[in-house]
């Protein structure tokens, strides 16, 4: 029997047929003990196929201000940095593919607490993509607003793209050709 | 007696406020998750894995299960017609 004729239809319909259970946990991504406890409870061993970081990458900032100013006690004007190497290594240790869906800063940051949070500026995002494109250990593909692979030769497209959109989506995988 | 009642009222009020706050936080978490799931359709291309044979195999397994359900459904229809 040939299944290929049904594949497309089944693939689209499977979204409605697949049972999904969702459980909510509160846990820091960087708290290995708590994270492992949850994984154990859920019977999860090994990596996930996907890790979706939905509007959350800017919450994975460090706890050190990168602004050139004298930090006030309330840190209202402070902005923590992002350790790209550490964050992506951590995310890729959890899943084969890390999908990032991230807004770009417009006026006002409702979710900023001290120096943490606060959406990324275009400049900050450009820095992230520069880092990812310069490291051959990553395979990066943009999904939204347009689909293309990111590398040194396509980095030039990112700057103009960031000027035109307020949200973007890309994914990162370990490059199987590089260690 | 009156003091005991006041203490109890105070404790209950505190507990009520505490639970109310907890409930608000949970509602907020649920809204974030619901929004994220609703937005999945906008980024479904990010989940395409045709270049990865091992994931493809898993997907086929899922399809096979669905196909089986459909096949049973079709058989039932045929039986009903006859």
Q: Where are the domains of chain A?
A: 48-174
pLDDT tens per residue across span A110-156: 667 776 778 888 999 999 999 999 999 999 999 999 999 999 999 99
* CA-closest candidate to residue A119, choices A158, A83, A79, A87: A79
pLDDT tens per residue across span A47-57: 888 888 888 88
pLDDT tens per residue across span B22-48: 888 877 777 776 777 677 778 888 888
pLDDT value at residue A12:
57
CB half-sphere exposure, A141, CA atoms < 13 A:
15
pLDDT value at residue A76:
75
Task: Report the residue of A49, A142, A172 to disrupt the B interface, i.e. the one with the largest count of B CBs within 10 Å.
Answer: A49
Q: Where are the domains of chain B?
A: 1-46, 49-82
- What b/e string do you get for B26-39 counting C-beta neighbours within 10 Å, with b at 16 or more? eeeeeeeeeeeeee
Cβ atoms B22, B30 nearer than 8 A: no
Mean pLDDT of B5-23: 91
More confidently predicted of B20 and A115: B20
- Transcribe A155-174 into DSSP letters: THHHHHHHHH-SEEEEEEEE
Nearest residue on chain B to A5, alpha-carbon basis? B67
Instruction: Indicate whether A16 pLDDT > 60.
Output: no
CB half-sphere exposure, B19, CA atoms < 13 A:
6
Mean pLDDT of A156-173: 92
Instruction: Indicate whether A74 pLDDT > 90.
Output: no
Lowest mean pLDDT among A128-132, B54-58, B76-80: B76-80
Mean pLDDT of B6-27: 89
Instruction: Indicate whether A19 pLDDT > 60.
Output: no
Contacts of A14 in chain B (CB under 8 A): 62-63, 66
Contacts of A97 in chain B (CB under 8 A): 46, 49
What share of chain B has pLDDT > 90, as a percent?
A: 15
């Amino acid at each position: 029997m040939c299944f290929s004729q049904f594949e497309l239809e089944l693939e689209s319909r499977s979204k409605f047929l697949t049972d999904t259970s969702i459980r909510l946990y509160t846990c820091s991504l960087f708290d290995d003990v708590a994270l492992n406890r949850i994984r154990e409870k859920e019977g999860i061993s090994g990596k996930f196929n996907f890790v979706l970081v939905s509007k959350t990458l800017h919450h994975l900032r460090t706890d050190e201000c990168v602004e050139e100013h004298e930090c006030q006690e309330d840190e209202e004007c402070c902005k923590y940095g992002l350790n790209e190497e550490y964050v992506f290594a951590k995310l890729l240790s959890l899943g084969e593919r890390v999908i990032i869906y991230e807004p770009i800063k417009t006026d006002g940051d409702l979710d900023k607490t001290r120096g943490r949070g606060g959406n990324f500026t275009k400049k900050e995002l450009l820095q992230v993509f520069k880092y990812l494109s310069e490291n051959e250990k990553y395979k990066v593909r943009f999904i939204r607003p347009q689909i293309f692979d990111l590398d040194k030769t396509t980095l030039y497209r990112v700057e103009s793209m960031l000027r035109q959109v307020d949200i973007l989506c890309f994914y990162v995988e370990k490059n199987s050709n590089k260690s | 007696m009156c003091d005991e009642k006041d203490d109890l009222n105070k404790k209950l009020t505190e507990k009520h406020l505490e639970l109310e706050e907890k409930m608000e936080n949970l509602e907020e978490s649920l809204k974030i998750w619901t929004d994220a799931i609703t937005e999945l359709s906008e980024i479904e291309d990010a989940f395409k894995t045709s270049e990865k044979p091992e994931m493809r195999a898993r997907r086929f397994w899922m399809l096979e299960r669905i196909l089986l359900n459909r096949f049973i459904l079709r058989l039932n229809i045929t039986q009903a017609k006859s």
